[in-house]
Every structure is written in C-alpha cells, then in structure tokens.
Structure 1
Amino acid sequence: AKDLDRPARFLYVLLRPQWKSWLVLGGYTLTLYGLILTIWGVATALEWPTIALVAGWLATALAIITAVYTAFLFAQAKGRDFWQSPTLALHMLLHALLAGGAVFAVLFLYSPPTAGWAGFLQNGLMLTVGLNLLVILFEMITPHPTADARRTVDLIVRGRFENYFWIGVVMIGNVVPFTLAWAGGPLMLAGAGVCILVGMYITEYIWVRAPQEIPLS
C-alpha cells in the first residue's frame, strides 16, 4: 500500500479480509508476528520465563510463515508461470536464514563472539549458502512444464539477466561467501555476510523482474 502512496489501504486488508488471498493472510501474519515479538520482549525484560518461552516458540513459527508467505502470494499470480515453482518457498526460507546469518557475521566484526558461536556461524553460513546454490541451480536446470517458465529461465541464464545471475547471484552471492566462510575468521565472515546480502538483493531483483518480462499474451 505504501508503494501506491496509500498506506491507509493496508487497514482494508485487516478490516475487510478476503481469506483466500495470501495478501490478507500475510498481513495478519505480519501483524501477529509483531505482537508476539513485543510480548516476548516484554516477558524477557520482566523475567517471565514461561511467557517468554511460549512467545518465543510462537514467534519462531510465525517467523517461518513470514519468510515464506510471499512465495504463496506470488503463486496466486497465475499468469506468471515461473512463480508457480514449488521451490520458491524453500528459496525464501533459505534467504531468511542467510540474511540473519549475514547480519550476525557483520556485527561480530565489531563485537567478537565466543569460539562456539563463531564456529556455529561459520558452519551455518557454509551449509545455507551451499543449499541455496543447489536450490537455485536446480531451479535453472530442471525442465519447466510451461513455455513461459522456460522462457523466463532462458532470460535469466542466457538473456537480459545473464550477467546479474552468473556474476551477482552465483559468484558474489554464493561462491565467494562460501569460500570466505570456509576460510574463517571475523574479517572473512564479515565479508561473506556482505556478499550474501548483495547476492540476495540481486537474486530477488531477478526473480521479481524476469517473469514480468514475458508477455501475457
């Protein structure tokens, strides 16, 4: 709604819901997520362990839904075949994990973690980057069932978005951060975090724009 200069329209999503729309479901999820996080923060600050524990688990579940609901929202755009991919939700979940790890990797440059946390972050980044690259390559290599989806893949791999994909997504967003994380050390992990965030931005740019380059008729 803000993109349309009518942020007040968001209230219509909550007050006049169409329950079959993932825009509505996502809006309620985001609202509830914010509420539960607030409860968790207050309970933690006031040392109410039971409430904090329950709120923490609820927030975790809502965080997962928040991370992936856009995939289902995109899937409701039936005219964009590439967005119908079953891997899109996994793609977004991995991006949520990568974003969190990348931010911590950069912050740890200024506030060094314990050896245990540093090792956990290093292994976590390597694992999620590796999985992310596999999902992306699977999406590009696996034959798609419709002509429009195949044209979108061709546009990404060999067409207008080719350099963005191979340099920005594959190299900067995955290969380089995996190598830096494997090398280890605060500076290398911070560099991996920056590369991951840049690669994610480029990936989302491609995944949103490329399918819309295919004419609907």
Structure 2
Amino acid sequence: MCLGAVLLVNGTGAPGPPPQPASGQSYPDVVRPVPRDPPPLAPLSAAAPIRVRIPAIRVDAPLTGLDLQAGGRLAAPPADEPNLAGWYRDGTTPGAGGTAIVAGHVDTGEGPAVFYHLGALHPGNTVEVDRADGDTAIFTIDAIEVYRAEHFPDHRVYTAATGAELRLITCGAGYDHTEQHYLGNVVAYAHLTAHRPLGAPPLRRS
C-alpha cells in the first residue's frame, strides 16, 4: 500500500524553520533499515494508541485515528488542534508486530505544532505510546531522515517489519513560499525496546 510522499501540508506561522536532521542521524544507505541497539523487544498484542510522549523534544500529545484519502495519502490531524498527533488506524498499532505510523503537523498558521522539533531527535532518544490496554509501549529512535517529496522512499518507510517498529512523520525538507507547502518530510525510525504495564513508574531516560 502506498501512502504517498507528502503526508502533511502546513502553514508558515512558525518563528523560523523547524530543525532538520543532520546527515549523521541517518541510516547507512540500505533499502530496508534494521533496528540498532538496544535489542528489540518481542511485539505486544494489538491495542489502540491513545497518547504519544517524546521527552527529548517535550512532546506530550493525544492521538487520533487517521484514514487514507483519495489517491492513497494519509489524512492529517485537524489543523485547529496543533498538539494532536494521529496514527494510521488501518495499519499496525504501535507496539504490535509490524510498522506503525504516527504523523503530526510541524506547524500551522498559528505557529509551531506537535512535531515541530521532530528533526532535532537523535538515535537513542525514546518515544512512549500509551495504549488502550493500559500498557505503554516504549520505542528507541534508530535514525532520523529527511526526504524531498519526489524522492520519498515508500518501501523504506512503510514496508511491514517482522518486529515492532514505529515511524514518526512530519513535514520538512524546506518550504516553497510561492506554492506555500513543504518540500518533503522528516521521518524518525524507531523500534520497540520496552513496555510499562499500567501503574508502573516511568523510565528515567530521554
């Protein structure tokens, strides 16, 4: 299934361009990236995600289900809720086996939005996803990459994994002020490394 390259188109209200990942944050040039350390955790059972937290960039946002639009593009979260992220509800649920997709705006006409700082992440940062079953799935970032729309690697980003993997996606790659849209996407790759049952204390790492 092809979800398209430019998933989200946002406004120009941010006070300066959002951070973009440096070349050192990327995977080696391979078609299908594999998780880095720490070792992957066995996939969890499927359960809908309800909240995402990324401590390193101070993201703490509710999640809403997203569908595909005509042409195979993933719909964006509502632009009037800048701190709302979305997950592809017909795909893998975060923590289950496969490749889960979470997308968020980089900015809106009012200013920075939920994934404005996504490009500032580094390998080793963590992502926590609260799930409807009470568990929190904890992922470790493997790489952060930026792509122009015409070179978006659908297979690299979306192909189903054998373990539990996560992709975080927002707009990036520069902004076309004439056409008023971003030129591509920032994608963070992560894999499941821990989970926290309901009521357990948070982990003390970034």
Name the TM-score, length of structure 2 as normaliser.
Answer: 0.26
Write 1 or 2 for the structure with the bigger share of helix: 1
TM-score by length of 1: 0.25
> For the pair shown, which has the larger CA radius of gyration, 1 or 2?
1
Q: Larger strand proportion, structure 1 or 2?
A: 2
